[in-house]
Structure 1
Amino acid sequence: MKIARTGQVILFGLLMNFAIGAHAQNDVSSSPTPMASSGAATSSKAADRALRRRVLTALGKAKGLRATGITVRAHDGAVLLEGWVPEQAQIGLASQVAEGVQGVTSVKNTLTLSTF
């Protein structure tokens, strides 16, 4: 009799725990705020990736620029150029090319000179 009562108490506790957990999940998932911010973040990341690709494409097509050592990061229109180029003149050229890409609002150039 005591074992049956203990089993009932444990079963009741498990059911309550499950019910409370399910209710808490429903409250969070029904809220429009987390979903909206997640969608905005995804959209922003996609825009950053697209801008990064456009800058890389422009750098790759630029005459007189060896872009194989250049890494591009983009965030909300701000572009960061990192890496190396083989000639001093290419550092400035990379900035000019990146600034000419549609959607770029600023360029920070941290390229270094390397003769590998």
Structure 2
Amino acid sequence: MKSVGYLKTLGSVVAMVLACNVYAQSNDAPSSAAATVKAGKRANNELGRKVRGALSKTQGLDVSNISVRARSGAVTLSGTVPDQGQIDAAGEAAKGVAGVKSVSNKLTVMQQ
């Protein structure tokens, strides 16, 4: 009876070691994919910073409630501004940044 329990435990340990070994081997390939993902995130962050900088330099634009998201050259502006003119100005400023392929302007007017 004790030998059956011992064999079950040994079988479980062998199965666990095999599963860990297979997982470790299959995990080697994505290292280049991980580097690609990191580079993409870095590029998105850099583009977002450039757009935020352009918005802050735009005369008459209140950037305190504007958030910027960049993904592969597509920029999304969201938040609130005091008037429609600022929505248009923000969209134009974002379009003028190098690397921006498209702008989704989701800004809304909110009276302050």
In the aligned structure 1, how far is the partner of 2:53 from the partner of 2:60? 14
Q: Deviations over 1:41-77 (max 9, x none)?
A: 1211121111111111211121111111111111100
Off by >3 Å, runs of 4+ in structure 1: none
Deviation at 1:11, TM superposition (A): 3.5
Give a deviation string over 1:56-102, Cα, whole Å, max 9, x none: 12111211111111111111001111111112211111011111112
Residue 63 (structure 1) aligned with residue 59 (structure 2): yes
Task: Give the stretch that moved more between structures: 6-15 or 37-46.
Answer: 6-15
- The alpha-carbon deviation at position 19 of structure 1 amounts to 2.4
Could you say which residue in structure 2 is the equivalent of 1:114? 110
- State whether structure 2 residue 24 is matched by structure 1 residue 19: no
Are 1:45 and 2:45 counterparts?
A: no
Q: Residues of 1 paired with 2:12 and 2:84: CA distance?
A: 69
User: For structure 2, which runs of at least 5 residues remain unmatched after alignment?
Assistant: none
TM-score norm. by structure 2 comes to: 0.88
Aligned to 1:10: 8
**Under a length normalisation based on structure 1, what TM-score does the superposition of the two structures give?**
0.85
Bigger mean CA offset, 8-17 vs 57-66: 8-17
**Counterpart residue type for residue 86 of structure 1:** P
- For the residue of structure 2 that corresponds to 1:64, the secondary structure is coil
Corresponding residue for 1:85? 81
Cα distance in 2 for partners of 1:45, 1:112 equals: 27
Secondary structure in 1 matching 2:19:
helix
Give the Cα–Cα distance (whole angstroms) in 2 for the partners of residues 93 and 59 of structure 1.
Answer: 9
CA-atom RMSD in angstroms:
1.5
Q: Per-residue displacement from partner, 1:20-61 (whole Å, max 9, x unpaired)?
A: 12321232123x2x2222221121112111111111121112
